[in-house]
A and B are shown apart, each in its own frame.
Chain A
Amino acid sequence: MSYFSDIYNGVKSLLTGMSVTGKYFLHSRKGAITQQYPDNRATLKMFERFRGEVVMPHDENNEHRCTGCQKCELACPNGSIEIIWDRQIDPETGKKKKMIDKHIYHLGMCTMCSLCIEACPTDAIKWAQNFENSVYDRTYLTRVLNKPGSKLMPGVED
């Protein structure tokens, strides 16, 4: 008599499903995944893996870790990164050395593929967690990542 056992199993599986959603219903107050965005703007933090935009962290002495090797520029599939560099005299050793003038990043062209960050040998660039990236003029989307007057952190090239 598989007829009645079919009914029994059917009802049982339906009740199992309903108990799962029932638990969700009871926990929805605490466990809601919705972010009430403009209200919690001050406290809202994006998760670790979120790719907002590429930034170049600087330390307190206005020093970054970019050597100007251009690996990120080569890795970028759609030319979002442009590095303007020249050879300058290193004040410590007195020798001529490749240094970045401007690390230009076009956020408007970036597809957030993360290839530049994987390519960087010195971890000079990384993802930021900000997400409010809209601007009124697209020229604002072209960003210079190294701050004016910044220089290479000593010891990165060793």
Chain B
Amino acid sequence: MKITEIIHDWLFSLMPETTASIVEMALIAVIYLAIFAVAGLYLVLLERRVAAWFQLRLGPNRVGYQGLLQTMADALKLVSKELTGTIKADKFLYNLAPYFVIVCALMAISIFPFTQEFQAFDINIGIFFLIAISSIGVIGILLAGWSSNNKFALIGAMRSGVQTISYELSVGLSLLTMVLITGSLQLSEIVEVQKHGWLIVQGHIPAMIAFCIYMIAGTAETNRAPFDLVEAESELGAGFHTEYSGMKFAYFFLAEFINMFIIASIATTIFFGAYLSPFGITESIPLLGVFWFLAKTLVLIFLMMWFRWTFPRLRIDQLLVLEWKYLLPLNLMNLILMALMVLLGLTIQF
């Protein structure tokens, strides 16, 4: 993009090379932080409105037009609140945990190709990186639960560990199924492949199965209902963040929504052609890629919200049965099916 080039040149003319690149990195980090905060806040609002609509209510519509400033007000309230903690908590880990969670989420968000140019970090092991980062996030939750010195928090954190270890397999394998078509882990190349039809079309039946498994496992990864055993309000108080208050609680809350955004973004990138418009209708205007990317992501986020407000919470044994008895064998079968399809050239390409 032109603007970024101008800023880049200006920075490098102003300072020595190392300083300039560090400043540039900092600038990009600040921009992503801003996107992160705004996206998180508005996802919270969206969740509340959508939840209300699913339950025949109206939802928050008082602060600002249609409640647009509601979450800003909530954030302000949370900032002004006292940070409480338990006496026997492990202070260092207790304070570290929220940042751990939020940094992991932020790192994952940096590699998405919002448009052809708007991608902060085009790493060649993109999908692998994403899977790795999303499983590191659980360490923050474990830290939070363990260091709070609270039995509810500990149980919640342990459940989170079980859940993430189980469902990580399904997320990884379903993405691997799609990598069979693309032949690359780099996100920009995956998008390049999809110029001949989105992967869900190219891979048809196995791709759809992989997508379904990915969405189920992804919902479990983000600890959202029906897989919210980690927080399970009715049994564990608030789960791993029972002892957190004020802004530290807000970090966990925001990270949860950003994780939802990340899961939906991965699905958009892998299955639905990232920033590519349907049938290439706006290919001449590359900037509209952001719009298409966000639109697809929002549809998938809506799907996850739909899950949340429809299905009751699973029991822990049901959770494990679903993963180990159903999703994983199906996923392996699906992987073989996809491999055969790619081998026999049965994919659909335009």
CA distance A17 to B307 in the complex (A): 9
Does the CB pair A36–B56 fall under 8 Å? Answer: no
Q: Which residues of A contact B311 (CB under 8 A)?
A: 14, 17
- Assuming the A-B contacts A17-B310, A17-B311, A21-B306, are A28 and B56 also in contact, with contact meaning beta carbons closer than 8 angstroms in the complex? yes
Asked if B57 is at the interface (CB within 8 A of a chain A CB), the reply is yes
Closest to A35 in B: B58
Does the CB pair A34–B54 fall under 8 Å? Answer: no
Q: Which residues of B contact A148 (CB under 8 A)?
A: none
Does the CB pair A34–B310 fall under 8 Å? Answer: no
Does the CB pair B326–A28 fall under 8 Å? Answer: no
Asked if A18 is at the interface (CB within 8 A of a chain B CB), the reply is yes
Asked if B128 is at the interface (CB within 8 A of a chain A CB), the reply is no
Q: Which residues of B contact A22 (CB under 8 A)?
A: 306
- Assuming the A-B contacts A7-B326, A14-B311, A17-B311, are A28 and B306 also in contact, with contact meaning beta carbons closer than 8 angstroms in the complex? no
Q: Which residues of A contact B310 (CB under 8 A)?
A: 14, 17-18, 20-21
- Indicate which residue in B52, B58, B330 contacts A36 across the interface (CB closer than 8 Å): B58
Does the CB pair B309–A21 fall under 8 Å? Answer: yes
Q: Which residues of A contact B53 (CB under 8 A)?
A: 24-25, 28
- Indicate which residue in B57, B307, B330 contacts A28 across the interface (CB closer than 8 Å): B57
Interchain nearest-CB distance for A73 vs B (Å): 43
- What's the tally of chain B residues with a CB closer than 8 Å to chain A? 15
Asked if A31 is at the interface (CB within 8 A of a chain B CB), the reply is yes
- B304-340 CB mask vs A (1 if < 8 Å, else 0) is 0011011100000000000000100010000000000
- Indicate which residue in A7, A18, A34 contacts B306 across the interface (CB closer than 8 Å): A18
Q: Which residues of A contact B56 (CB under 8 A)?
A: 24, 27-28, 31-33
Closest to B310 in A: A21
Interchain nearest-CB distance for A49 vs B (Å): 21
Does the CB pair A24–B58 fall under 8 Å? Answer: no
CA distance A28 to B306 in the complex (A): 14
- The winner among B50, B52, B58, B311 for most chain A CB atoms within 10 A is B58
- Assuming the A-B contacts A7-B326, A24-B53, are A32 and B306 also in contact, with contact meaning beta carbons closer than 8 angstroms in the complex? no
Asked if B66 is at the interface (CB within 8 A of a chain A CB), the reply is no
- Indicate which residue in B54, B307, B326, B330 contacts A25 across the interface (CB closer than 8 Å): B54
- Assuming the A-B contacts A14-B311, A17-B310, A18-B306, are A24 and B326 also in contact, with contact meaning beta carbons closer than 8 angstroms in the complex? no
Q: Which residues of A contact B54 (CB under 8 A)?
A: 21, 24-25, 28
Asked if B55 is at the interface (CB within 8 A of a chain A CB), the reply is yes
Interchain nearest-CB distance for A3 vs B (Å): 8
Closest to A17 in B: B310
Interchain nearest-CB distance for B115 vs A (Å): 31
Interchain nearest-CB distance for A120 vs B (Å): 38
CA distance A27 to B55 in the complex (A): 10
- A6-43 CB mask vs B (1 if < 8 Å, else 0) is 01000000100110111011011001111010000000
Closest to A15 in B: B310
Does the CB pair A34–B309 fall under 8 Å? Answer: no
Q: Which residues of B contact A21 (CB under 8 A)?
A: 54, 306, 309-310
Closest 6 CB pairs of A and B: A28-B53, A34-B58, A21-B310, A34-B57, A17-B310, A25-B53
Pick 12 A–B contacts, CB within 8 A, sort by A: A7-B330, A17-B311, A20-B310, A21-B54, A21-B310, A22-B306, A24-B53, A25-B50, A25-B53, A25-B306, A27-B56, A34-B57
| Chain A residues within 8 Å of B, Cβ to Cβ | 7, 14, 17-18, 20-22, 24-25, 27-28, 31-34, 36
Known A21-B54, A28-B58, A34-B58; further 5 A-B contacts with Cβ < 8 A: A17-B311, A21-B310, A24-B54, A28-B52, A28-B53
